[in-house]
Structure 1
Amino acid sequence: FTDGSTMSVLTHTLAVLFGMGSWVSINGLWVELPLIVPQIPEGWYLPSYLSVLIQMANVGPLFVTLMHRFRPGALNETAVIYAIIALGTAASFLLGFFWKETVVVAGVPRSLALLVLTFFLAAVDCTSSVTFLPFMMRLQPQYLTTYFIGEGVSGLLPALVALVQGVGVVHCVNSTQPLNGSGNASAGAADHRLQARYQPSNFSAEAFFFFLSAMMLVCLLAFLLLNLHPAVAREQPVPRYSNGTKERSRARRTRAEQRPMMDPFRRQKPRSSFGTGSYSWTQVVYIFVILAWVNALSNTVLPSVQSYSCLPYGNNAYHLSATLAAVSNPLACFVAMFVSIRSLVFMGFLTVLGTGIGSYIMFMAALSPCPLLVNDTSGAAVMVLAWILFILSLSYVKVIIGVILRDEGHSALVWCGAVVQLGSLLGALTMFPLVSVYGLFSSGDPCGTSCL
């Protein structure tokens, strides 16, 4: 590669493939649930177990964050990334062989292999938040946005493959049932309803897990090239960093150019010792609170009620909202590549907008199986649009915060990943008892006949 534009395309492509490996395994496991659940003893309790396992896996990012805080420089970040990607590749591959295997535990059959391997996958994906992002400090700033596009693709790609696979595809057929248990349908006393029948998949869950393993292998190869390819090395802005010291000294000299265009706290003094010192502590807290909030909403709170909010409007509305929401994430990152508004005021506006839309989605989920406009086509259209705008607005906020913290140095991106996981954890801890323990939400009928 001798042409500069060609090198740029190569690096952008590798950054996307590297980011794709961040959450592709767990996202893939979630979209495969309708095919897995009928074949394991845990049944539909499995999503609750997965939520707990994923939050337990936050021990990985906790360890990395504490090492960066108390033993800076002691952790070989590159070796950690190689290890976790290799672990994710192996765990996904083994799932293809052992996900249906059961072991009797305390007299009850359990999918022990599935649960253990899921924990390893969750540990890989959670730890990626505090290792992949800081690694991107080694490249030019524009590649961080490309990385976020790849992170969005990690949710989109498994969803598209699952659609091709035919996971959760429902055909609604007429079902005639006699009334009053008389069994005399010929007398006219019959109840005509649409009954949901799930269609067999086009290929097996085993093949899907092998696909996830291949995606992790692609991520590993992308990281290898990002780390070693001479063309990528020539685009690195500075030599290998040492705990962010070079970036901080360099950024301090140019921080006037890096300030947000609209700073609502401009007159507050003194500036903090955080990163380059461009932001006061009030602003730092403001940024991290928003980061935790938007990740809690978009990663755990609203996804936990997506089926409740959409299924009452029909199976098509559910699949359309899930697919277009998955598309919205990388789309927001793509927009941020060309329109990067670092205004803290605008960030707050988008957060309020996304929160308002999320509140509507949550309200409709609480009204399930009979939300507003349930038997109207406009109800389904509004719900699909709500999911698109919700993910678009909050995904843009996450990218802009990542870009801002990238300018603050390596340790700022470590804390960025830690706060992302903290927000997701708090969201999961909030929603788990509401959904799985107290059962405050009721599922609608995939054929949209719950309120007829």
Structure 2
Amino acid sequence: MSLLTHVLACLFGMGSWVAINGMWVELPLVVSALPEGWLLPSYLTVIIQMANVGPLFVTLMHRFRPGALDERPVVYCVVALGAVATFLLAAFWKRTVTFGAGAGGVERSVPLLALSFLLSVVDCTSSVTFLPFMMRLGPQFLTSYFAGEGLSGLVPALVALIQGVGLVECRNVTAAAAAAAAAAAGGVANGTFGNSTTMKAFYQPANFSAEAFFVFLGAMMVVCLGAFALLNHHPAVVRERKDHRYLGEEESAAAARRDKREGLSLRGAAPEERPMMIDPLEPPPRERRSSFGMGTYSGGEVAFIFVVLAWVNALTNAVLPSVQSYSCLPYGNRAYHFAATLAAAANPVACFIAMFSSRRSLMLMLVLTVVGTGFGAYIMAVAAFSPCPPLVGSDSGVAIIVISWVLFVLTLSYVKVIIGVILRDEGHSALVWCGAVVQLGSMIGAISMFPLVSVYGLFKSGDPCNTKCLN
């Protein structure tokens, strides 16, 4: 029965970010049909940060009205909203609205942008509702949840690969034809005009439509909703939640009041009858080192944990993903797809490792954060040198950039799991703050990178069909 709970926790976690992750991997197919073109990722970045009003509201409710907000109705609402919005996206993503009359009218993809905002609210709010709900289950199921959260990026990426999104065919064309094609697309072609030939990238047609892909994402949200319902009501899962140590703070308090009404007291009850309101591993109140959570860590250690959490999520959720194409495409389309797919797979692998070895060591957390940041620094340096980074055009360059992406995601994903396990032991409110800091770090990273990438254009795209750099 524990296996069933592990599977349900994993499926529940998959619904956390599957919609927005799916939107990102589908962009190469979507942008060609929409008036915004490749400006659409910039708009999505801003929309995702605006959606942090959801987690902000939940966090403020927990801060100023503790116990007034039950996560379960909120989770039901946001997951159902995500499923409906994703199915609507499948029907209306191509629709546009024209602002202005006559030839001066400007087309904008209002339905897609509005539905993307709703999906962003759903996914951002999951950070401060899904994790606290996991307090109601045993700590061993938290790593399964994190594995599912990692799969929320891997599964859409694998489906997009099957779909053939972003697969490029390099063809010989004359420079004049390449220039005409680039001008028609609003870009500039490289090379000399005349009868000389150059390699040009042509995106291959997808094996199935974007509508079918969005329907798949909607089905994933329905699966998440079903898994959540079973985690609440399946008899096998309910039996595992009988121990009060695994209940949320509100349920534990309610259990204590119920026991008191029944005439049971902590002093009068036999040891085996006492409600397990206090974790046996919790230090006595006089030995507590801070007022945070269970008092296991000092104030400085708590600050260190949250700073690392914000830093790691800023890197993995915003800073490095914004330059992934710049760091990989100079080495070719194959390097880009290998890096994107294997890095997405590294996240659930890190969670799988943590299921068997999740050491709650702050020193290990620091070391892994430094190592992961080092790989991230190399990736950022490669992106800064794009389109002519080191070892461009060589197999060793491809291998190094792919391995760097995999190890970057693997190490920092393991750090996130360690922090999640630590904060789970500190109680319900600690996991609420965990989700809030995750969103805060991601927002700071996105706000920092947006002007560098989209406004000042400090990064230059590589050409998957022309990796030769001329000095």
Report the TM-score, using the length of structure 1 for normalisation. 0.91
In the superposition, relative to structure 1, how do residues 21 and 270 fare at CA in structure 2: closer, same or farther (>3 Å)?
A: closer
Matched length = 427
| Aligned pair partner of 2:142 in 141, 144, 156 | 144
Deviation at 1:240, TM superposition (A): 4.7
| Contact 1:369 1:442 survives alignment (8 Å) | yes
CA distance in 1, matches of 2:173, 2:405: 32
| Contact 2:128 2:433 survives alignment (8 Å) | yes
CA distance in 1, matches of 2:397, 2:251: 50
- Cross-structure match for 2:224: 219
Deviation at 1:105, TM superposition (A): 2.5
| Contact 2:392 2:467 survives alignment (8 Å) | no
| Contact 2:423 2:434 survives alignment (8 Å) | yes
Tell me if 1:391 matches 2:409.
yes
Tell me if 1:231 matches 2:258.
no
In the superposition, relative to structure 1, how do residues 109 and 177 fare at CA in structure 2: closer, same or farther (>3 Å)?
A: closer
CA distance in 2, matches of 1:232, 1:83: 21
Render the CA deviation track for 1:343-376: whole Å, top value 9, x for unaligned. 1001000000011110000000000000000121
| Contact 2:330 2:388 survives alignment (8 Å) | yes
In the superposition, relative to structure 1, how do residues 429 and 441 fare at CA in structure 2: closer, same or farther (>3 Å)?
A: same
CA distance in 2, matches of 1:430, 1:249: 46
| Contact 1:295 1:420 survives alignment (8 Å) | yes
How do residues 4-403 of structure 1 correspond to structure 2 at under 5 angstroms? 7-106=1-100, 107-177=105-175, 191-236=196-241, 237-238=243-244, 240-243=247-250, 250-251=277-278, 253-255=280-282, 271-403=289-421
| Contact 1:364 1:372 survives alignment (8 Å) | yes
CA distance in 2, matches of 1:9, 1:274: 33
CA distance in 2, matches of 1:276, 1:235: 23
- Give unmatched runs, 5+ long, in structure 1: 1-6, 182-188, 258-268
CA distance in 1, matches of 2:215, 2:140: 32
Deviation at 1:196, TM superposition (A): 1.1
**Paired amino acid for 2:138:** Q
- Give unmatched runs, 5+ long, in structure 2: 180-193, 256-274
**Paired amino acid for 2:437:** V
- Cross-structure match for 1:4: none
CA distance in 1, matches of 2:278, 2:425: 7
- Cross-structure match for 1:430: 448
Once structures 1 and 2 are overlaid, which stretch shifts more, 122-131 or 231-240?
A: 231-240
CA distance in 2, matches of 1:417, 1:242: 17
Deviation at 1:174, TM superposition (A): 2.5
| Contact 1:243 1:411 survives alignment (8 Å) | no
In the superposition, relative to structure 1, how do residues 399 and 131 fare at CA in structure 2: closer, same or farther (>3 Å)?
A: same
Render the CA deviation track for 1:148-174: whole Å, top value 9, x for unaligned. 000000000000000000000001123
Render the CA deviation track for 1:285-336: whole Å, top value 9, x for unaligned. 0000000000000000000000000000000000000000000000000000
How do residues 405-416 of structure 1 correspond to structure 2 at under 5 angstroms? 405-416=423-434
Q: What's the Cα RMSD here? A: 2.0
Deviation at 1:249, TM superposition (A): 8.0
Deviation at 1:250, TM superposition (A): 4.2
CA distance in 2, matches of 1:220, 1:245: 25
CA distance in 1, matches of 2:456, 2:322: 14
| Contact 2:95 2:109 survives alignment (8 Å) | yes
| Contact 2:98 2:108 survives alignment (8 Å) | yes
Deviation at 1:194, TM superposition (A): 2.2
CA distance in 2, matches of 1:393, 1:139: 26
SS of the equivalent of 1:196 reads strand
CA distance in 1, matches of 2:239, 2:251: 19
CA distance in 1, matches of 2:110, 2:28: 19
CA distance in 2, matches of 1:256, 1:343: 18
**Paired amino acid for 2:32:** P
| Contact 1:89 1:214 survives alignment (8 Å) | yes
SS of the equivalent of 1:379 reads helix
**Paired amino acid for 2:299:** W
In the superposition, relative to structure 1, how do residues 298 and 244 fare at CA in structure 2: closer, same or farther (>3 Å)?
A: farther
| Contact 1:347 1:397 survives alignment (8 Å) | yes
CA distance in 2, matches of 1:217, 1:306: 30
Deviation at 1:242, TM superposition (A): 3.7
CA distance in 2, matches of 1:403, 1:251: 18
Deviation at 1:74, TM superposition (A): 1.3
In the superposition, relative to structure 1, how do residues 193 and 19 fare at CA in structure 2: closer, same or farther (>3 Å)?
A: same
SS of the equivalent of 1:96 reads helix
Flag as ranges the 4+ runs of structure 1 deviating above 4 A. 244-252
CA distance in 1, matches of 2:308, 2:251: 24
CA distance in 2, matches of 1:223, 1:270: 35
CA distance in 2, matches of 1:18, 1:447: 40
CA distance in 2, matches of 1:244, 1:30: 38
Once structures 1 and 2 are overlaid, which stretch shifts more, 240-249 or 357-366?
A: 240-249
Deviation at 1:448, TM superposition (A): 3.9
| Contact 2:36 2:108 survives alignment (8 Å) | yes
| Contact 1:16 1:151 survives alignment (8 Å) | yes
SS of the equivalent of 2:125 reads helix
